[in-house]
Amino acid sequence: MKTVLRIGITTIIAVGIVCFLQLYAKYREGQPTGFNRRMVMGVLHDPNHIDLNSSSLYIISLDDNRIVLGDTKKSGLMLTTDFTLKNCDTSLLDLPDSVNFAWGAARIVEKGKQTLLVEGITPNIYAFIGAGSLRPTSMPDGIPSFDLLAPSDSGFGFRAVDTVSNQYVLGSFVPGEKLTVDNSILTGQQDVFFSADGSLLYDPASRRFIYVYYYRNGLIGFNQGLDTVYYGTTIDTVTFAKISMHRISSERKVTFSSPPTRINKHACVSDGWLFIYSSRRADNEKGKLAFTSSVIDVYSVSGFHYLGSFYVPDYDGKGIRDFAVYSNHLVALRGDELFVFSFDRIRFLKQ
């Protein structure tokens, strides 16, 4: 009798859990977001992947033959592989002990054929040219500490914090020339500092810098001189950053009182296209595929016109955490693993 009772109770609990999950799935699908996507299917093919045994890697750059990765925990480390993922090499960028360099804030970027070791605290930019050849970049007078840097064809764009207004500002410079800073391009909301947080990119095809807000649907494009600025929005409807802050007066600290809603998780540019990994499903996205994939929205860099969207399938329940597109390749990091897909641009444009 006790066994039958236990089986009955277990069955009831199991049925209850299944019903709850089904209702919750319908609830999640039923929450309107106020926008629709034009999904383009079948643009990713031939997935290939390798386990790199590290979740601290990030994508530095892609070119005709190479995928170059950096490591946030080992600032000077570079891992290079090809698109077949069969050949992997590591190298280490190092500086003389006499150089005052904030290694904890260092990142590696590439500018043309130059590999740059960058940190924005001092700040410093060192170019590694050829075998062991090292050259410091001439920094303009008065350049502030920066937390984002994007190299352009002729110089650099950066983001810094105005210590007077405590707001993000954008700046640019060409080595050996005057510094330009503009505090009017980025706009905060509700005097919340983090509402203007985002990513800074450069598109060589259009010779434009792109700024993508994390917590709202705003997009900004500008040139090297910061004198040509244009604005746009993503298809998402969140125009106001959903951020709640808590001030601890005794410690003079400001913290998030609840996790902020990051609308645009990650972005990259390639050949005049802007790719944005979005965190929100559109009203017309239903079914299993929408819940087991990472969705990428595509825009033109010129004018931010929406071109369409496609799915990158999750793997073992893991979505992408970094990605980049080059020519007909999409490269993504998921957890410890690196994935390479063939990306069919022609099919994307035709559908």
Per-residue pLDDT tens for 65-119?
999 999 999 999 999 999 999 999 999 999 988 889 999 999 999 998 889 999 9
Torsion of CA 46, 66, 221, 182, to 10 degrees: 150
8 Å CB contact between 145 and 160: yes
Per-residue pLDDT of the chain (351 residues; tens, 9 = 90+): 555 445 555 555 544 544 444 444 444 445 788 999 999 999 999 999 999 999 999 999 999 999 999 999 999 999 999 999 999 999 999 998 888 999 999 999 999 888 999 999 999 999 997 666 788 998 999 999 999 999 999 999 999 999 888 899 999 999 989 899 999 999 988 766 789 999 999 999 999 999 999 999 999 999 999 999 999 999 999 999 888 777 776 766 767 767 788 999 999 999 999 999 999 999 999 888 888 999 999 999 999 999 999 999 988 778 899 999 999 999 999 999 999 999 999 999 887
Q: What are phi and psi of 234, to 5 degrees?
A: -80, 180
All structural domains of the chain with their residue ranges: 32-350
Q: In whole angstroms, give the CA distance from residue 282 to residue 37.
A: 6
Amino acid identity, position 141: D
- In this prediction, residue 25 carries a pLDDT of 44
**Paired tokens of 37:** 């996507």
Q: In whole angstroms, give the CA distance from residue 319 to residue 248.
A: 34
* 3 state SS of 176: coil
Q: In whole angstroms, give the CA distance from residue 188 to residue 190.
A: 7
- In this prediction, residue 23 carries a pLDDT of 41
How many CA atoms lie less than 13 Å away from 183 in the CB half-sphere? 8
Let me know if domain 32-350 sits in CATH 2.120.10.30: yes
- In this prediction, residue 14 carries a pLDDT of 47
Q: In whole angstroms, give the CA distance from residue 291 to residue 28.
A: 10
- The DSSP output letter for 214 is S
pTM score over 0.85: yes
